[in-house]
């Protein structure tokens, strides 16, 4: 029973370390290729670092945004991601539609008033799909920082190598001990009986 449990734990540990390494590699490479934000199956993953859309979107969440070229289609109540005049990305709800969708009055759900400036349709990147993963944004921001990338790429790799070395060492010890157990006992020489 203990042997089966040990094998399961060993397999799980190896899979976990390998998965962590692959996920971190994917996050770092895709964020570098997409200038900071990864793309998955055509959806852009964005990190929310303010509480303006709480409680629906918590601070530190990662959200999926569906990019669109048809930026005049949004209606009141849609949650859109856009670039504000300071060139920052913002995800807020459409409060009013003006000039047949040429501009939008937006508001964060947690804010007391609408945003100071209307959003031009040309500055809208896409619509929030509703997919929100709480706290994953904090992990992603850390993973894509220089220190985080180094730590998360090197640490799982070192742990995986160390665990592999330990597994090989343990297997070699088991082989050696089984060989010792299989060696026949040396026979003592017996002198033939004397005849008189």
Which residues are tagged catalytic?
A: 50
Joined tokens for residue 7: 């094998």
Q: Which residues contact 95 (CB under 8 A, 6 or more apart)?
A: 76, 104, 105, 106, 107, 114
Residues 47/186, Cβ–Cβ less than 8 Å: no
Say how far residue 15 (Cα) sits from the centre of its chain: 15
Contact indicator for 132, 61 with CB cutoff of 8 Å: yes
């Amino acid at each position: 029973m203990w042997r089966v449990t040990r094998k399961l734990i060993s397999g799980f540990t190896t899979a976990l370390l390998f998965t962590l390494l692959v996920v971190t590699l994917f996050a770092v490479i895709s964020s570098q290729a997409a200038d900071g934000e990864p793309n998955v199956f055509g959806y852009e993953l964005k990190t929310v670092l303010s509480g303006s859309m709480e409680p629906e979107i918590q601070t530190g969440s990662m959200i999926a945004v569906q990019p669109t070229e048809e930026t005049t289609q949004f209606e009141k109540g849609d949650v859109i991601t856009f670039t504000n005049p300071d060139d920052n990305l913002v995800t807020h709800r459409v409060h009013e539609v003006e000039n047949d969708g040429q501009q939008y009055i937006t508001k964060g759900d947690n804010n007391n008033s609408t945003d100071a400036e209307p959003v031009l349709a040309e500055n809208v990147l896409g619509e929030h799909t509703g997919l929100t993963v709480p706290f994953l944004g904090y992990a992603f921001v850390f993973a894509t920082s220089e220190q985080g990338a180094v730590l998360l790429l090197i640490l799982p790799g070192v742990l995986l190598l160390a665990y592999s070395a330990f597994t090989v060492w343990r297997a070699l010890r088991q082989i050696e001990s089984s060989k010792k157990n299989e060696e026949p006992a040396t026979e003592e020489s017996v002198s033939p009986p004397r005849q008189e």
